[in-house]
Structure 1
Amino acid sequence: NLCTYSPLQSKPNPILPTLHTHGRTHTHTNTQWDMANHHEQEISHAYDDSEYEEEEEEGEDEEEEEEEKSSGDCKTMKGTCGGGRRGGGWFMGRVLDPRAPWVQEWNRVFLLVCATGLFVDPLFFYALSISDNCMCLFVDGWFAITVTVFRCMTDALHVWNMWLQFKMSKRSYAVVVARGEDNGSGRLHDMSARTVALRYLKAKKGFFFDLFVILPLPQVVLWVAIPSLLEKGSTTFVMTVLLIVFLFQYLPKIYHSVCHLRRMQNLSGYIFGTVWWGIALNLIAYFVASHAVGACWYLLGIQRAAKCLKEQCIGTKGCGLRTLACKEPFYYGTTSFVRDGARLAWGENKAARSACLGSDANFAYGAYKWTVQLVANESRLEKILFPIFWGLMTLSTFGNLESTTDWLEVIFIIIVLTTGLLLVTMLIGNIKVFLHATTSKKQAMQLKMRNVEWWMRRRHLPQGFRQRVRNYERQRWAAMRGVDECEMIRNLPEGLRRDIKYHLCLDLVRQVPLFQHMDNLVLENICDRVKSLIFTKGETITREGDPVQRMLFIVRGHLQSSQVLRDGVKSCCMLGPGNFSGDELLSWCLRRPFVERLPPSSSTLVTLETTEAFGLESEDVKYVTQHFRYTFVNEKVKRSARYYSPGWRTWAAVAIQLAWRRYKHRLTLTSLSFIRPRRPLSRCSSFGEDRLRLYTALLTSPKPNQDDFDF
């Protein structure tokens, strides 16, 4: 029996309380809505996996449906923390979701591990060396141990990744739902731990492919096969065996790393998320290729030197092929005396030394001529760095190498030149693409500025206007680096766009005192409709008497709000972060009956410095006030609107100043009343004139409409 799941039906939760009303039982549960919401959230991410699934399932065998089903086992979908879902097997544990953040982080780390493994494998070649004193081939023991340890460490990380692959589903439940494979049953036939493990075992690029690339083939050849061949005197055959085994595993290892790279790109669309990491990965790949080519060049150079010594040994009396291999295959830096007369005589053979290991060796080394100074070099660092330099030079300059007629050497040079041509072309192309991605916006900005300059010259704009246009474009570029934030967010899905704007704007919107007493629903709608605006210094945003187009909420910078009274007298105030303007729109939207004509601005706004603000257009203000009218009826909101309104503040300042002056004038009259004048005061008429002037100033001050905030 299978437990089915449907987002529209759910069984009552026995844990939740049950109410008995009129003989009926009502269970209060939110399971239906929770599962439906979870279902919708899974579907929202489903379409991102389609391309990844097509690439991932290409060339793989068809999945087998689960055959064994426990009679009492109900397999339902249950989300787990960490991006996994519980499977049916206790041994394998839960099934991991490839979209989990920690899994994607591990994939990035494992990509670097693969690059490290590709760098470590060619180091096995440098363990072979020729003794300068005895002119015999040996294995550097300490270097071989170090390389073997590094190889085992990278293999251990590969094993850990294989264990994760046993538990990692190739696709999340969202893809199953989006493709209609769920059939409304809720059973995840490909989500059980046993099925995921079997699929990984049967995949062509699955378990056995991962196991092959970590087989200890170089270690076995280095520690088992090479000592046996050296004891038999097969010095030249040693390099052939090591090279064949290396290529047999190294080429599939490169393909394995490329497959992992493509999986990461298909899953998330990017690898590290930055352009510079893309350039770094291409340079790392080019460097690893140069390292591998240089190591092969070094190994073939040792083989050519061993071949030269073998020819010299054949022409020397008392020299056998065993003499070309050192008595101890592994050398650990200890000094031992050679008692064998044949080896001593061979080590003192100056003709063989000058012909094969001398700086002026006359043997036909061909492309391996520079390896003569390396094969007997005791410096391990020089033996590694110089072949890397040769590989970089050869791949970058496409050779100019002198070659002999040896077929293996000719094939090696052809492969190196072809590989260098492909790698350089790919490297230049990829870096060009990455650099274009970083500089395209800057180039577009420069092209736009050239067009703007041409337009301003054609229209004969004054220098003041031209400078203002240049300043605006520079400041907008400095703020957003050419990114059209509004267009980018507008192209996102509605839910994601709303959440992003809520995240970006909420803290700044809460800084506006007018919005501090509003609930989250109103703030969400405001955040969804505000637009980020930038104004340069000295710009006139709004003129007095013009229709008010938007409300401005200042985030950074300062504005000057000025109002003309009479006879050219101005009343000015400064607006800073937290203040707003355009409050006339609030009374315009909330007045009944509604008037379509926009209200006139009561002040002129001029920027005192570069100012960043949020703008709420008149249509957006109308939408918010109509749908959330209950919020603006709140007394706290009305008091905040009056307190932070520039018009109300200006009128209040004028009223307070006039009241203070009247108070000071009354105090003066009171003090003068204790003095009996000898004659009537000559200024009695002036007191009435002053009082008339005070009342005139009070009445002519820009007092806001009393009904503006009586919502």
Structure 2
Amino acid sequence: MSKYNGSNGDTSMGNSIVMSSMVNDVNSPEAQGRPMLGKQELGELQASNKWKWPEVEEILSYLNPWWNTILVSSCVIAVLFDPLFFYIPLIKEEEKCMGIDNQARTAALVLRSVTDIPFLVHIIYKLNDAITAASKVPRDTNPNSESGLVSRVQNLQMVQFVKACSRKLSWRSFLTDVLAVFPIPQLLMVGLFFNLGGSNYLLKRKILSSFLLLQYLPRIYRIYLSSITMTHSVLWVKAAFNLFLYILACHILGAFWYFFSIQRETSCWYQSCITSQPESKCTFYCHHGTTISVELNTTLNHNCVLKVPYYTNDPPFDFGIFFDALKNDIQGPINLQHKLVYCFWWGLRNLSNFGTNLQTSTHLLENTFAILISVTGLLLFLYLIGNLQIYIANATTKAEEAKAEEVREKFETKRHDIENWMTQNGLEEDMKAEIRRNIKQKLEEDISVDLDDIISILPWYTRKPLKRALCMNTLRRVPMLNNMDEKVLKLMCDYLKPMKYQENHLVFKMGDPLDRMVFITEGVMWTYKAATESTGEAIGLPTSASIDTNVLKKGDSYGHELLLYASSYYKIPTSPKNLLCHTKVEAFVLMANDLTDIVNKCKSKKLWSLDNDASNDEARDRF
């Protein structure tokens, strides 16, 4: 039994080996028509499938759409944090020396270094891009030239290379970036400011302060260059940018005020010190480790008094606009956040009123600083007003465009009906063009105007020739007006009034006073003699019992009896028949009193003449 099982096991194992080898043969590269890979090639393939670091070009292509935003954000953050350099100095009033705020210095250096990184990357990228583009410019190389010619050719190639680089660089943007990243505040405030001394100490400090102020120009100009792209931005982006500029100006002016207040007090110390001490000993740096004498301390307290008694109107030294900072000991070793908030509030308060409340001394730089505050506030205000005007203009333009589009859509919906109406009435092309122009103008004035009543929305100077074009032929078809002068007919057209009647409307009931003549321009009316309801409301169609039924349509008229009334001053006639609108009717009516005015005007000029035969026929038909 064991042998039998063993043989079966060997058989099954052999079968599985055969099957697996067959499967492997089927899946092998040879079976699929591919060459077999060696171990080295297989290892390289596996290594190539591993994740690799992206190349520089891939990173730049990914960041390119966002790079301008990154630069603007870096500028914004840098300009916001750069004023921290002005908070590095502080005054120790008891020791009469100028020390260093280590918290402000650390924060300023770290934040400035971080915000400079995008600028450095941008500068390196621009240089690399220009060098790469310039290296592709073909240059003349000849290895068989003589040694003297080779050096000349190399020099010429170098000049060509430099020119090609300069053409590829945008120098204005490039120099702005270089100046913006240049470490002026780090060198001046941390390296030089606390080591000034010797002769002309105040002059040196003024020059250094000027460089500190000028270092803001490249960064602000870089923000301006990048913010030009926000011209077509959404409204909230523009509003946020305007608010940022205002807050930034308040922050920077507050930092300047703090920095200048320290310099103003140390200037007072210096001027009091040099009267009794050598100039080299009047620098007042705390880190020098020197202490002033009691006598000099008393002199400084007397000459540079900060707590002025109420009875003193003329203090020994006028600190001007910096007195509030010194009086409140803002320049002392207090918390940095308190300094920032108080100085920001001072900048906001004085920038909002354009510096009108500042009480300055006669010091030149102090007055220059006050003028700078006033001009900055005015420019920001004008910038805001300009943006508001641009926004209002854009909003107005958009509203006008939307209204024009709405007018166009409404006109297009009725255009077919209007064109058909003008064509059916046989209007000339000049009249059609004038009607279209007047309709569009009316729609621009009032989009809710009813285009179903075209005549009523036209101005009088267009309506007048239109009525003559529509009704002259209808008037000529009136029998009693056959011999009437054309001037009279035109005058009658001028007095016509447009009217619309709904279907089944009873215009006249037999026996009603005939107070108007009706000239049909569109639709169908019926005249008939039959018993009607006394209400005078619209009645149904005349029955088979109705007699003397006539159909009036376009070009027909009703109420000729009024001509006899106006000519002979008869009593007001009555309607001999019922006048019923079979369909919707558009017509012109001539009121009885208007016809009387026309007759009086024309009789005075001997223009009124009715056709007597037609008048007799009308009278005979009536009676």
Q: What is the TM-score when the length of structure 2 is the normalising length?
A: 0.45
The structure where helix makes up a greater share of residues is 2
Q: What is the TM-score when the length of structure 1 is the normalising length?
A: 0.40
